[in-house]
Chains A and B, each alone.
Chain A
Amino acid sequence: MSNSSTALAHQFDDIEQQHESDSLGMWIFLATEILFFGGMFLGYSVYRAVYSPAFSEASRRLDVLLGGINTAVLLCSSLTMALAVRAAQLGGRRTVIALLIATIVLGSVFLGIKAFEYYQKYEEHFIPGPHFEFAGANGRHAQIFFSFYFVMTGMHALHMVVGIGIMLTMIWLTKRRRFSPEYYFPIEMTGLYWHFVDIVWVFLFPLLYLVDRS
């Protein structure tokens, strides 16, 4: 019995129907994710418009160099992820594992740098709440900026942690020879998810770090 027929779930007639369903399901899930982040982007945009000077001022307190490095790291991780999906289509088991590990390493570097940035902000008393301090005219409104900064990047980081968990599972499944060139959909879906997380950052970075730097 070939691999593809063992991978076929009972409710589907053929592997192609299963592939199309998986793929459509994943895209719909990503649509829900867009709406989820959309709520935060909407809130950000509203206050960005209302408290424009405060947001510019607060944005300049972020470390654009670390943010820039992180952007580069994350874009590279999307490349390794895309290559991993391609390798899975071609059936290169070891290559898939190596590329997934590379993606995980890059993702972890991102999270490490992010954690360091959070620590910096903590030292500078930029954590919203009773201990928030902001030297400047618009302290109260700068706090709202930092609220969005932490909620949005925090949600993004949480999605990355989940993504890393999924990739670890995929490595394990690949080791157990669960995938083949006929059935590699879970890796493809992992790739879609990871690219989505990447794209969210592509929007977050300019909105939070570059909003008023010319």
Chain B
Amino acid sequence: MDIYREHYLNCSYGVRSWLLTKDHKRIALLFLMSITLFFFLGGAFAVLIRLELLTPQGDLVQAETYNKLFTMHGVIMVFFFLIPSIPSVLGNFLLPMMIGARDLAFPRLNLLSWYIYTIGGLFTLGAVFSGGVDTGWTFYTPYSSVYANSHVIATAVGIFITGFSSILTGLNFIVTTHKMRAPGMTWFRLPLFVWSSYATAIIMVLGTPVIAITLLLVGVERAFGIGIFDPRLGGDPLLFQHLFWFYSHPAVYIMVLPGMGVVSELVTCFSRKRVFGYSFVAFSSVAIAVLGFLVWGHHMFVSGQSPYAGMIFSFLSFMVAIPSAVKVFNWTATLYKGSVSYDAPMLYAMGFIGLFTTGGLTGLFLATIAVDVHVHDTYFVVAHFHYIMVGGTVMAYLGGIHYWWPKISGKLYPEGWARFAALVVFVGFNLTFFPQFILGYLGMPRRYHAYPAEFQVLNVMSTAGASILAVGYVLPMVYLIWSIRYGKTAGDNPWDATGLEWQTPSPPPTENFAATPVVGWDAYDYGAKEEEKELQVV
């Protein structure tokens, strides 16, 4: 019954038309598929970790295998899922549409970015399946550069290659945001997702080259024994930690900033209100990007770093809480007197706010030197960063996928199932990770396959939670794929949202807009939309 309309999905067919596409929307889908694959692979390692931790002694795997499991879980989830997730999938799909452009500034680089990601991923997978790596995702020297007896170089090369994918995406986003905005789309009319993607892109561009050279030096040291990080030869392992965290702490903001952007979109849309304090939320993204580069030393409080440096890093880490809190307060204030509805994306957004706040506040514990000495390298830290990365980023990612799914696929997902899945994820997540705060505080160290018997109850709770969480993650994959075929046709703007991406058909045509839009209004102009609706009723 639908009238045939050409859009980006049906304009050409065949594997070739996808593998050689320069359309940002198709490249986003390529990323979506590869990233989903890595997510479930990384998840599989998490399942094995949790199963082993069901009992105090090592029965499923022994120490060496366990070391490889948590390393590969970390490497895959951090470098191949969390970092590219929202930027490469949602950012790629949405950024040009949100600013009223036909494509990113460099479509070929964008496709190259996916190829680089895939090659780096295959390299790492090769390392994983030929025996894996056991250094922890942090590759601390001199263990990684001299002693480790696993595939360190191959894994490092894989991450090195994938880094360039990140750099190219970041570069593309920055140039696109500067140069490709539609007429009238001023900086302060940009959706907040664009602001946070822009801030993320800055971190990607400035941080990633540093991890590249660091891993390169580790590889060279391992291959040729040059001794830059090897204390036996006069090198300094602390230098490695500085270089590593100079990227890897800002990388946390690469993971969470885009999530914050997604949540800003969701909260405004489902409260039918303009975001509270637009420019504060916008600038807080930039502030997080800048401050995020100055706090890496809080990973090194007990590494033998100068205590004065530690104090400054502690202070600066507290400072990052300010722009983060600005966001949380402004989202909350946006809800106030809004006409809030609880569709699935909003449930994820609410989940994000709660879990991110918990993760952020426990981050302040860790930024306090004295407390950090107590909980350093315990499950408290594990719980803290999973609250940010899984409770924050993954919730936002899923919320965003649901929210923009009608635009991406042209179909509606089943709302009831989606709300159910969101609840399952929330419950499963808290059951998995909240006990780990307690475990860590009681002194259970991370990265061990065995533990004293008194920690078993909490570990069983955590494993039980992980099983629930796994169900929560499989559900959306099932019903979203189902909806491609059986879902109801979505219409151009099922949420009655304001962004430019909703003013074009779903799925959008290859060139996004029939004519370049001219923007004469601010972002999140829900007030005007509501008035319009009232007038129609009258």
Asked if A151 contacts B217 (CB within 8 A), the reply is: yes
**Cα distance A144–B226 when bound, in Å?**
7
Chain B residues within 8 Å of A36, by CB: 209-210, 212-213
Asked if B236 contacts A46 (CB within 8 A), the reply is: yes
Chain A residues within 8 Å of B516, by CB: 13
Chain B residues within 8 Å of A42, by CB: 243
Expressed in whole angstroms, the minimum distance between the Cβ of B407 and any Cβ of chain A is 20
Binds A, one of B104-112, B284-292, B484-492: B104-112
Asked if A25 contacts B180 (CB within 8 A), the reply is: no
- In the complex, A136 has a CB within 8 A of chain B: no
Interface residues of B in 434-482 (CB under 8 A from A): none
Binds A, one of B116-124, B130-138, B167-175, B386-394: B167-175
- In the complex, B233 has a CB within 8 A of chain A: yes
Asked if B175 contacts A21 (CB within 8 A), the reply is: yes
**Known contacts A28-B174, A144-B228, A148-B228; A20/B234 CB under 8 A:** no
Asked if B208 contacts A32 (CB within 8 A), the reply is: yes
Chain B residues within 8 Å of A9, by CB: 107
- In the complex, B235 has a CB within 8 A of chain A: yes
Expressed in whole angstroms, the minimum distance between the Cβ of A100 and any Cβ of chain B is 23
Asked if A28 contacts B171 (CB within 8 A), the reply is: yes
- In the complex, B147 has a CB within 8 A of chain A: no
Interface of A is mostly: helix
Shortest Cβ distance from A25 into B: residue: B175
Spell out B's residues near A (CB within 8 Å).
101-107, 167, 171-172, 174-175, 178-180, 205-210, 212-214, 217, 220, 224-228, 233-236, 239, 243, 516
**Known contacts A24-B179, A128-B225; A33/B235 CB under 8 A:** no
Asked if B103 contacts A32 (CB within 8 A), the reply is: no
- In the complex, A66 has a CB within 8 A of chain B: no
**Known contacts A128-B225, A130-B225; A32/B205 CB under 8 A:** yes
0/1 per residue, A12-38, Cβ < 8 Å to B? 110001001100110011011101111
**Cα distance A40–B226 when bound, in Å?**
14
Asked if A51 contacts B234 (CB within 8 A), the reply is: yes
Pairs A-B, 3 closest by C-beta atoms: A39-B213, A36-B209, A147-B226
Shortest Cβ distance from B221 into A: residue: A147
**Cα distance A143–B105 when bound, in Å?**
46
**Cα distance A94–B225 when bound, in Å?**
49
Shortest Cβ distance from B101 into A: residue: A11
Expressed in whole angstroms, the minimum distance between the Cβ of B29 and any Cβ of chain A is 18
**Cα distance A50–B238 when bound, in Å?**
14
Asked if B214 contacts A39 (CB within 8 A), the reply is: yes
Asked if B103 contacts A43 (CB within 8 A), the reply is: no
**Cα distance A35–B209 when bound, in Å?**
6
Chain A residues within 8 Å of B172, by CB: 25
Expressed in whole angstroms, the minimum distance between the Cβ of A140 and any Cβ of chain B is 5
Chain B residues within 8 Å of A13, by CB: 516
Asked if A147 contacts B228 (CB within 8 A), the reply is: yes
**Cα distance A46–B516 when bound, in Å?**
53
Interface residues of A in 134-156 (CB under 8 A from B): 140-141, 143-144, 147-148, 150-151
Interface residues of A in 24-72 (CB under 8 A from B): 24-25, 28-29, 31-33, 35-40, 42-43, 46-47, 50-51
Asked if A143 contacts B233 (CB within 8 A), the reply is: yes
Asked if B234 contacts A21 (CB within 8 A), the reply is: no
Shortest Cβ distance from B176 into A: residue: A21
Asked if B206 contacts A32 (CB within 8 A), the reply is: yes
Asked if B243 contacts A31 (CB within 8 A), the reply is: no
Q: How many A-B residue pairs have CB under 8 A?
A: 107
Asked if A140 contacts B103 (CB within 8 A), the reply is: no
Expressed in whole angstroms, the minimum distance between the Cβ of B416 and any Cβ of chain A is 40
Instruction: Select the residue from B101, B107, B233, B234 with max chain A CB neighbours within 10 A.
Output: B234
- In the complex, A10 has a CB within 8 A of chain B: yes
Shortest Cβ distance from A147 into B: residue: B226
Chain B residues within 8 Å of A32, by CB: 167, 171, 205-206, 208-209
**Cα distance A148–B235 when bound, in Å?**
12
Chain A residues within 8 Å of B178, by CB: 21, 24
Asked if A129 contacts B179 (CB within 8 A), the reply is: no
**Cα distance A151–B174 when bound, in Å?**
31
Instruction: Select the residue from A11, A25, A47 with max chain B CB neighbours within 10 A.
Output: A11
Shortest Cβ distance from A141 into B: residue: B234
**Cα distance A194–B174 when bound, in Å?**
23
Chain A residues within 8 Å of B167, by CB: 29, 32
**Cα distance A9–B208 when bound, in Å?**
28
Asked if B180 contacts A11 (CB within 8 A), the reply is: yes
Chain A residues within 8 Å of B179, by CB: 17, 20-21, 24
Chain B residues within 8 Å of A35, by CB: 206-207, 209-210
Chain B residues within 8 Å of A33, by CB: 209
Chain B residues within 8 Å of A144, by CB: 226-228, 233-235
Instruction: Select the residue from A17, A31, A43, A151 with max chain B CB neighbours within 10 A.
Output: A43
24 A–B pairs (Cβ distance < 8 Å), ordered by A: A11-B102, A12-B180, A21-B105, A21-B179, A21-B180, A24-B179, A25-B105, A28-B174, A35-B207, A35-B209, A36-B213, A38-B213, A43-B217, A46-B236, A46-B239, A128-B224, A130-B225, A140-B233, A141-B234, A143-B226, A143-B227, A143-B234, A151-B217, A151-B220
**Known contacts A10-B102, A11-B107, A143-B234; A24/B210 CB under 8 A:** no
Expressed in whole angstroms, the minimum distance between the Cβ of B365 and any Cβ of chain A is 30
**Known contacts A32-B209, A36-B210; A11/B103 CB under 8 A:** yes
Chain A residues within 8 Å of B234, by CB: 51, 140-141, 143-144
**Cα distance A142–B239 when bound, in Å?**
18
Expressed in whole angstroms, the minimum distance between the Cβ of A20 and any Cβ of chain B is 6
